[in-house]
Structure 1
Amino acid sequence: MTDQGIEFQLDQILDAEGIRIVGPVSLYWDTPGDACVLIGETGSGKSLVAQSLLGLLPPDFHADGFLRIEGKRIALGDATALRAQWSTTMALVPQEPFRSLDPTMRIRRQLRQVKGSDDRRIDAALSELDLSASVGKAYPFQLSGGMAQRTLFATALVSGASLIIADEPTKGLDEDRAAQSLTALNRLRAEGRSLLVITHDLDLARQLDGRTVVMKAGEAVETGPAHELFTSPRNDYSRALLQSDPANWSAPAPRIRPPSGTVAELRDVSFGYRAGAPLFENLSFTIDAGEVVAVTGQSGIGKTTLGDVLLGLRRPTSGTVLWEGTATTKATVHRLRRKYQKLHQDPGAVFARHRTIGQHFADLADILGGESLSLRLEQLRERMKLSARLMERSIDEISGGEAQRLALMRILMLDPMLIVADEPSSRVDPIVQRDVFELLDSLREQQEVAIVLISHRTQIVSSFADKVVRLSS
């Protein structure tokens, strides 16, 4: 390693009970502009690695090891010393840009709060990331998702930090905006900033072409240059992970039998807010039993809103939504609600953090009856390959993959006719992503459940959908 290099040696992370949950993991950046990329299963410890580097581990957790950066050797157990490096030698580009930006403050003012910033550096950073000067005058809510993401990259550029940690920089972005994030990352590298990128996006990891670390159950099971690891993985888990990439999925199997009927229909449906142009106008299409209809389009185009209109959660500006041939009214929606369900992008929208998973499922007893609930719960839990112990935990104590399968399991308890799946795999690793879609496909085939898939991933749509509705501005 050169004098300009960075070295990170994590021997172990211990939880509050003193049990090792992550480690060992070794990362190094030989020269400015190098990239290390962490990939692997949801819950494998990727985010904990980054938290240990930044001095942000949960209370009562402890890390052993060191970080060597800009001639300083800092113990990973010294959270205060690690946090002192923020905006000087290290900077974080977090997930969910709108949660990271202050909604009450203009962008330029937020950039001025970065240690060492000035107007010259701010202007240069905005220009470097193809953000106009007017962005500095805007509030976060006036930015698109892609612009908000690049604003966080601008924060990293302004900081002067030599190591940038980017946590899921393409999560939830459409393909055009994901490409913008890749461009921003490469511009940081061209500026001599080294990168640590945590991602489920295998295409991003491949294109960054840095040193790639595959993690499973808290351990680094394989490490190597991306161009070698992606073409000739040595570890069985690495091979399974790469094979689960949607690029390797097969085309959908032909339907064995004709549909038994139409479960939902939109007739000349439009939706818009009073102050602006309509999100969509005069949409008409049918959804048959056992059919997969994909809704695609850029981020912010109205895909989720269309799903909510279809489910009776929002009223269209004009047009008619029909369930089983009957126009939806308050009475219709109330009577058939359990048959028309939504699989949320964020399972936290379904499970409250202050209650156990088991308490949430117990709420269904009023609908299903106690004995029916217990039997159905056991059958579905086994089908979903979920441990009974999960029922004793809260949503914050389980992995993203487990949370998404539990959310789907809760829907299946209600025996639905139609499921609107809103980006159902954007928060999970490729293996869990494939499992979720295999479960949905089995519902379509075996029980004729209709599925409306909201997605910006072209590969997933082409591998899964029977019909595609594309929204455009």
Structure 2
Amino acid sequence: MKDKDKPVLAVKDLSVSFTMYDGGMRRREREMVHQLSLTVNAGEIVAVAGSSGSGKSLLAHAILGILPKNANMTGTLEFCGRRLDEKALKQLRGKEISFIPQSVKYLDPLMKVGRQVMGPCRRRERRSRQAKMKQAFARYQLEESVAKLYPYQLSGGMARRVLISGAVMNQAKLIVADEPTPGLQETLARETMKNFRELAEEGCGVLLITHDIDLALKMADRIAVFYEGDILETVPAEAFAGDGEALGHPYSRAFVKALPQNEFCAPESFGSRV
């Protein structure tokens, strides 16, 4: 099997529920992700596309091991064939696995941007890390002076580009990008997707979580259609061509009709899998 055909990430039967209390202080479990399975191979972009609020970010947080304390997770996660448990995640997160979060609140408000993008490094590594940061800033149209700013001094678009810059600093084997393009100008959003494509061509696996399926279709290899905590189907991006007749689920076909260049029809409620 060639490297580009090997799963960098394998998600098997993942379920995520939350321990909650109702008005009578009765404890109950609410499941938000339902036995979800997904793979991302080296050298490909897999887009998880679905409407806002459907639970897509929970998938990213489960992979990174950053679910809240009241979350309960079952199923297995593997990275390059290695079980992704808490110990492994501590070793891999921020190094071989990079995360681009949806919220710019992930930036430390008390630390200058440059230190956050560079990450912890030894003194002898500082010069090379600064050079990498300079390249990342140039790629995402950020002035070098941005490194000396605090997050509150950044615009929303600048903060998002800073988050992306931090994620591409290391030679990660997997990038999990949770809605990386909102707030970016269209040209920069497309350039960001192009950069993801370049990273994939270098052998990185990219899991792109987005509701912008039109943008994802231009760069993704496969599309996983997400609906109410479940993946309805995973298909090659070409399956969305035309009227979506190659798609197996009515919700997926409704997504095609909802594209700006088509009928702009909002997907209806389809319940669970057909």
TM-score by length of 2: 0.77
1:18 CA drift (Å)? 4.5
Provide Cα deviations, 1:10-38, integer angstroms capped at 9, x if missing partner: 3122332455432332222332x311111
1:237 CA drift (Å)? 1.0
2:215 alignment partner in structure 1: 204
Mapped partners of 1:229, 1:129: distance in 2: 29
2:46 alignment partner in structure 1: 36
1:59 alignment partner in structure 2: 69
CA 1:114–1:93 in structure 2 vs 1: closer, same or farther (change >3 Å)?
farther
Match of 2:206 among 186, 190, 195: 195
2:240 alignment partner in structure 1: 229
Matched, 1:21 2:32: yes
2:118 alignment partner in structure 1: 112
Provide Cα deviations, 1:77-135, integer angstroms capped at 9, x if missing partner: x44543442112211111233x2333443322222325687223323333344434333
User: RCO greater where, 1 or 2, for CA within 8 Å and sep 6 or more?
Assistant: 2
Mapped partners of 2:262, 2:30: distance in 1: 37
Unaligned runs of 5+ in 2: 20-27, 269-274
CA 1:147–1:180 in structure 2 vs 1: closer, same or farther (change >3 Å)?
farther
| Aligned partner of residue 92 in structure 2, secondary structure | coil
The number of residue pairs the alignment matches comes to 249
CA 1:103–1:217 in structure 2 vs 1: closer, same or farther (change >3 Å)?
closer
Matched, 1:164 2:167: no
CA 1:210–1:142 in structure 2 vs 1: closer, same or farther (change >3 Å)?
same
8 Å Cα contact 1:41/1:431 also seen in 2: no
1:88 alignment partner in structure 2: 95
CA 1:80–1:115 in structure 2 vs 1: closer, same or farther (change >3 Å)?
farther
1:9 alignment partner in structure 2: 11
Mapped partners of 1:63, 1:242: distance in 2: 32
8 Å Cα contact 1:153/1:184 also seen in 2: no
Mapped partners of 1:192, 1:59: distance in 2: 34
CA 1:10–1:114 in structure 2 vs 1: closer, same or farther (change >3 Å)?
farther
Mapped partners of 1:28, 1:179: distance in 2: 24
1:206 CA drift (Å)? 0.8
1:5-404 aligned within 5 A: 5-11=7-13, 12-16=15-19, 17-18=28-29, 20-31=31-42, 33-74=43-84, 78-97=85-104, 99-114=105-120, 118-230=129-241, 231=244, 232-249=246-263
CA 1:107–1:172 in structure 2 vs 1: closer, same or farther (change >3 Å)?
closer
Mapped partners of 2:31, 2:91: distance in 1: 26
1:198 CA drift (Å)? 0.9
Mapped partners of 2:87, 2:139: distance in 1: 32
Larger radius of gyration: 1
Provide Cα deviations, 1:176-202, integer angstroms capped at 9, x if missing partner: 342243234334334432211111112
Identity %, equivalent residues: 35
8 Å Cα contact 2:44/2:220 also seen in 1: no
CA 1:123–1:229 in structure 2 vs 1: closer, same or farther (change >3 Å)?
same
Amino acid across the alignment from 2:61: Q
CA 1:202–1:41 in structure 2 vs 1: closer, same or farther (change >3 Å)?
same
8 Å Cα contact 2:113/2:150 also seen in 1: yes
1:68 CA drift (Å)? 2.3
1:452 alignment partner in structure 2: none
CA 1:111–1:21 in structure 2 vs 1: closer, same or farther (change >3 Å)?
closer
1:2 CA drift (Å)? 4.7
Provide Cα deviations, 1:140-169, integer angstroms capped at 9, x if missing partner: 345444333222111111133211111111
TM-score by length of 1: 0.47
Mapped partners of 1:61, 1:15: distance in 2: 4
CA 1:2–1:108 in structure 2 vs 1: closer, same or farther (change >3 Å)?
same
Amino acid across the alignment from 2:252: S
8 Å Cα contact 2:156/2:183 also seen in 1: no
| Aligned partner of residue 61 in structure 2, secondary structure | helix
2:23 alignment partner in structure 1: none
